[in-house]
């Protein structure tokens, strides 16, 4: 039996960035470039410890590590032990347009009904500067490009780690599973949480979801 016969199956690891002031208060953070809080930095370090143990168990380091260009994701990657992670613009968070910086409660009050981003989208308010946000399908298209770029590495038997954002990673997971991106509404994802995607019986699967590195 060769070493490849006993090697663990490849995994696509998703890591949401650590806490920011806006994530802690429920404000939607798209293109706004908000730094980590002290707690967020501690979360990122804990995620790094988790990832090191994961790599040790598997007997290999990830072959590819990518990060969103936003500082909250890049700093998380850095503190988690991947300072050389390449940035990928397609991993940036959903461009929220007119609802960037607002909470779901505030948006709901302005439109006069409960607002659900995966159902209603982000262009439910007039943008003061005329900038419209992305549609869900646009986010899914970007996520699909990321999957397309990393899947050859996974198919080659190696692992990939992505540092990005809550909504982007939830949409990417629906793309991975080949289901309606709107189902991302049902995939809660905490700050600095880790998810494991993989393969089983010829299907793309979820092997672990919303795992806390802090126990």
Q: From CA 183, how far away is CA 21, in angstroms rounded? A: 27
Catalytic residue among 17, 28, 165, 167: 17
Question: 212 — phi, psi (to 5°)?
Answer: -90, 130
Per-residue exposure over 152-164, b if at least 16 CB sit within 10 Å of its own CB, e if not: ebbeeebbbbbbb
**Catalytic one of 93, 134, 165, 167:** 93
Cβ pair 59, 154 in contact under 8 A: no
Q: Which of 107, 198, 189 is nearest to 151 (CA)?
A: 198
CA distance 188 to 123: 22
Assess whether 17 carries a catalytic annotation. Answer: yes
Q: Report, as residue numbers or ranges, the catalytic residues.
A: 17, 93
């Amino acid at each position: 039996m060769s070493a490849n016969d006993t090697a663990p199956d490849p995994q696509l690891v998703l890591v949401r960035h650590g806490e920011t002031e806006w994530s802690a208060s429920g404000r939607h953070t798209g293109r706004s470039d908000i730094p980590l809080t002290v707690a967020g930095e501690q979360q990122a370090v804990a995620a790094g410890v988790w990832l090191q143990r994961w790599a040790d168990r598997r007997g290999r380091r990830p072959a590819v590590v990518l990060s969103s260009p936003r500082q909250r994701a890049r700093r998380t990657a850095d503190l988690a032990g991947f300072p050389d992670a390449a940035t990928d613009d397609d991993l940036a968070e959903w461009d929220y347009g007119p609802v960037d910086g607002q909470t779901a409660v505030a948006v709901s009050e302005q439109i006069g009904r409960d607002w659900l981003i995966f159902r209603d989208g982000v262009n439910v308010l007039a943008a003061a500067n005329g900038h419209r946000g992305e549609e869900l399908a646009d986010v899914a298209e970007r996520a699909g490009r990321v999957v397309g770029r990393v899947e050859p590495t996974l198919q080659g038997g190696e692992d990939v780690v992505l540092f990005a954002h809550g909504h982007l990673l939830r949409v990417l997971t629906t793309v991975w599973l080949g289901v309606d991106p709107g189902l991302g509404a049902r995939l809660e994802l905490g700050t600095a949480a880790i998810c494991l995607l993989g393969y089983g019986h010829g299907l793309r699967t979820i092997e672990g979801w919303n795992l806390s590195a802090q126990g």
